[in-house]
Chain A
Amino acid sequence: MSAFAIVTKNVIFNSFPKLSFSLSPSSAIQFIRFPTSSIPANPLASLTQQFIPRTASLISRATSSSSAASSTTFHGLCYVVGDNIDTDQIIPAEYLTLVPSKPEEYEQLGSYALIGLPSSYTTRFIEPNQMKTKYSIVIAGANFGCGSSREHAPVALGASGVAAVVAESYARIFFRNSVATGEVYPLETEVRICEECKTGDVVTVELGDSRLINHTTGKEYKLKPIGDAGPVIEAGGIFAYARKTGMIPSHSA
């Protein structure tokens, strides 16, 4: 099937940790993280550079766009977990000595993402001695990210290369931390898909159409719109968004 072939190509193309995504010229701007972006080691940074010459002229347009997410698409392998995945399973407390705002420790946090899952999860999220995951989309049940307020949780997922979590519902603080940091898109499904998708399935998330396509099973699912949180995540978090839209002054640079 052609869709599968394209996806496969994208996965290969994407030796980037984050994931592969398709960009139409007019939406390319959405992926640019401004220099204010939090994490110098951001895996998107190198990719961003490639696109700057093409998109520089679009910068002014992006600031006024509220349907900015329209063409954003993620392709990749999914990793499937169940209900009530708490922050201790996403990033166990023993790794909280790592400070997310320090670039090298940010990378290390990523290498421990989801290491707290019980042994019933037989497929590892990150292979031994690897820093990144090959799964760019996490599919989960209800109440993902419950437990502590540690921002290390969305940070670890983002640093490991996850672009989006697609869950039935979220715990409040995890959702907010995901948006505030811009690390991952916390997307919600209208139906329970964690029982219909399997780890390793090839999926596409189309933000604009608010849908998830599982190419392995051939099924398609509606997502709840990310709404106004979308542009904040695209910008790279609240600070980057506030600067991008002129709410707060840009860095002196």
Chain B
Amino acid sequence: MASSLTAPTFSSFLHSKKDSGLSAFASTSPLSAQRCQNTVSKKICCSVVAPQQSERKPYSTGSVKTAMTMTEKILARASEKPHLSPGDNVWVNIDILMTHDVCGPGSIGIFKREFGEDAKVWDREKVVIIPDHYIFTSDVRANRNVDILRDFCQEQNIKYFYDIKDLSNFKANPDYKGVCHVALAQEGHCRPGEVLLGTDSHTCTAGAFGQFATGIGNTDAGFVLGTGKLLLKVPPTLRFVMDGEMPPYLLAKDLILQIIGEISMAGATYKAMEFVGTTIESLNMEERMTLCNMVVEAGGKNGVIPADSTTYKYLEDRTSVPYEPVYSDSQASFLSEYRFDVSKLEPLVAKPHSPDNRALARECKDVKIDRVYIGSCTGGKTEDFMAAAKVFLASGKKVKVPTFLVPATQKVWMDLYGIPVPGSGGKTCSQIFEEAGCDTPASPSCGACLGGPKDTYARLNEPQINKLEHSMQVCVSTTNRNFPGRMGHKEGQVYLASPYTAAASALTGFVTDPREFLQ
């Protein structure tokens, strides 16, 4: 009833009032010129804000095709417009809406309040619901929130709900996946050219598949649940050209920490970040996901990587939905372009308490650490654990600090026990981790990446190791944020690092450059 009432009203409103006052969600702050760094390309160094407006208009002949970036093209198609420019506010048709146990109940609450108790979601096959944040906890409210998701999915007949009921043994829940951003990819919900929104800032991870993906709040998600549309502002694009052979001691995490350190935590606010170049082409899908995952740590609206044969191969057995990739035109305008020679980069960390607090891992070799954490949407994928295992294997030693392993998803967990690590004579990651003295891989979830309830596995609960020492608890982590309190206690010190650097640090008890073991 409610849906049949509201749907036509919405669509007529969308067509007739597209320039209404609602078009000002974005901040009024003008695009500011980018700081020019020495790694920036000389080609379009820094901002070209003013000219791009006129460049983008069709020329007087009318026959010139107007160039667009891939982000602009995706949004143009999804809003049924022939052409879009940065700053345009458009109603976009959403291909997939993802929500989880932390923001799902609130989004559902808003959907019901605004569209009615009997309202139906706009498309039961386009809503993907993934409990992943606070799962293995006795927190009553956290458990209740998963129940709310389940009730809603049953009521709405949601096609993709990755439920968990038996918290004592995740393996008894065949539907349960784990961390939403990794699960979205593994289950084939990430497809080139599409628009994916999620109630989580790391939804931008899916840009690795050449799609537009960004995080939204509960109210916007409630709106999308009812209408399948959202008003979005077209972002200008920053282009990052990464060329050169990736040294064997670097991972995508180092690349994104390099970039965030370069442009700062707000350097891409409201902007798209497009990654291209020979290095990017050489990365597997999981590494590309790491890169796009952390664009939000630079304030980015979305990150995007052109789809190629690596993308298509990953998608082969995962989706039967037809998709159509798009690519930036050669004449497209970018707000600025940054070039990196990846072969010259070194392993990095982000020191407390900010992801842009970049330092070379070797510069921090005197920082004593108390624990290592390998997990999350950023650093808890199969390739991340394979990388850590490679370091343990190369050293043959045991870890000197507690080392916590939290696979992102059930699939990743199975890979740790099933896939042989190259060069190990057939050993799996789990065997290598056990020999190195790591903790047994835990049940897949977001875990302690964001602290969570007090009983969350590997959460930083104490400010310091023992009361006599005044040093704060220090963790080297493959996760994405190190703000005060992010992993639990607000005095805790989190160093963000690649799985190589995290594993190397576990072996020495200090922040350690992985070249100590990998060369």
B-binding residues in A (CB < 8 A): 36, 38, 66, 84, 86, 88-89, 92-94, 96-102, 116-119, 142-143, 146-152, 169-173, 175-177, 179-181, 186, 188, 224-229, 231-232, 237-239, 241-242, 245, 247-249
Given A99-B105, A229-B25, A237-B219: A143 in contact with B299 (beta carbons within 8 A): yes
Q: Can you identify 29 A-B contacts, CB atoms within 8 angstroms?
A: A84-B266, A89-B490, A92-B485, A93-B102, A97-B145, A99-B106, A116-B484, A116-B485, A118-B485, A143-B269, A148-B200, A148-B201, A149-B103, A149-B203, A149-B216, A149-B217, A151-B103, A151-B106, A151-B219, A152-B106, A176-B26, A180-B217, A226-B28, A227-B24, A228-B21, A228-B22, A228-B24, A238-B219, A239-B114
Given A89-B485, A172-B27: A180 in contact with B354 (beta carbons within 8 A): no
A-contacting 9-mer, from B315-323, B385-393, B401-409, B445-453? B445-453
Assembly CA distance A79 to B509 (angstroms):
40
- For window 139-165 of chain B, which residues contact chain A by CB distance below 8 Å? 139, 141-142, 145, 148
Q: Which residue among B9, B10, B22, B217 has the maximum number of chain A CB atoms within 10 Å of its CB? A: B217
A169, B27: Cβ atoms closer than 8 Å: yes
A179, B25: Cβ atoms closer than 8 Å: yes
A227, B28: Cβ atoms closer than 8 Å: yes
Assembly CA distance A141 to B320 (angstroms):
48
Chain B residue numbers with a CB within 8 Å of A248 are 6, 9-10, 13
B201, A149: Cβ atoms closer than 8 Å: yes
> Per-position contact with A for B481-519: 1 when CB-CB < 8 Å, else 0?
101111000110000000000000000000000000000
Q: Which residue among A66, A118, A149, A249 has the maximum number of chain B CB atoms within 10 Å of its CB? A: A149
Once A and B bind, how many residue pairs between them come within 8 Å at the CB atom? 193
> Per-position contact with A for B90-131: 1 when CB-CB < 8 Å, else 0?
000000000000110110111001100000000000000000
B28, A94: Cβ atoms closer than 8 Å: no
- Interface residue range, chain B: 35 or more
Which residue on chain B has the smallest CB distance to residue A105? B141
B26, A172: Cβ atoms closer than 8 Å: yes
Flag whether B330 is at the interface (Cβ < 8 A). Answer: no
> Per-position contact with A for B3-22: 1 when CB-CB < 8 Å, else 0?
00110011001000100111
Taking the nearest CB of chain A, how far is it from the CB of B88, in angstroms? 15
Chain A residue numbers with a CB within 8 Å of B10 are 248
B22, A249: Cβ atoms closer than 8 Å: no
Chain B residue numbers with a CB within 8 Å of A142 are 266
> Per-position contact with A for B438-471: 1 when CB-CB < 8 Å, else 0?
0000000000001111100000000000000000
Chain A residue numbers with a CB within 8 Å of B133 are 96
A-B complex: 8 closest residue pairs judged by Cβ atoms: A101-B109, A228-B24, A151-B217, A149-B215, A177-B217, A97-B141, A180-B219, A149-B201
Assembly CA distance A237 to B6 (angstroms):
18
Taking the nearest CB of chain B, how far is it from the CB of A18, in angstroms? 19
Partner of B199, one of A149, A169, A247, A249: A149
Flag whether B334 is at the interface (Cβ < 8 A). Answer: no
Chain B residue numbers with a CB within 8 Å of A119 are 490-491
Taking the nearest CB of chain A, how far is it from the CB of B353, in angstroms? 8
Chain B residue numbers with a CB within 8 Å of A225 are 28
Assembly CA distance A237 to B145 (angstroms):
24
Assembly CA distance A229 to B25 (angstroms):
6
Partner of B453, one of A94, A169, A180, A227: A94
Chain B residue numbers with a CB within 8 Å of A171 are 266, 269, 299
B25, A180: Cβ atoms closer than 8 Å: yes
Taking the nearest CB of chain B, how far is it from the CB of A16, in angstroms? 24
Which residue on chain B has the smallest CB distance to residue A181? B219
Flag whether B220 is at the interface (Cβ < 8 A). Answer: yes
Taking the nearest CB of chain B, how far is it from the CB of A237, in angstroms? 6
Assembly CA distance A38 to B217 (angstroms):
14
A173, B219: Cβ atoms closer than 8 Å: no
Chain A residue numbers with a CB within 8 Å of B200 are 148-149
Flag whether B265 is at the interface (Cβ < 8 A). Answer: yes
Assembly CA distance A13 to B25 (angstroms):
33
Assembly CA distance A181 to B107 (angstroms):
12
Partner of B102, one of A86, A150, A181, A186: A150
Flag whether B23 is at the interface (Cβ < 8 A). Answer: yes
Flag whether B191 is at the interface (Cβ < 8 A). Answer: no
Chain A residue numbers with a CB within 8 Å of B113 are 38, 101
Q: Which residue among A94, A116, A245 has the maximum number of chain B CB atoms within 10 Å of its CB? A: A94
Which residue on chain B has the smallest CB distance to residue A228? B24
Which residue on chain B has the smallest CB distance to residue A98? B141
B201, A101: Cβ atoms closer than 8 Å: no
Chain A residue numbers with a CB within 8 Å of B148 are 99
Taking the nearest CB of chain A, how far is it from the CB of B74, in angstroms? 18
Chain A residue numbers with a CB within 8 Å of B222 are 239
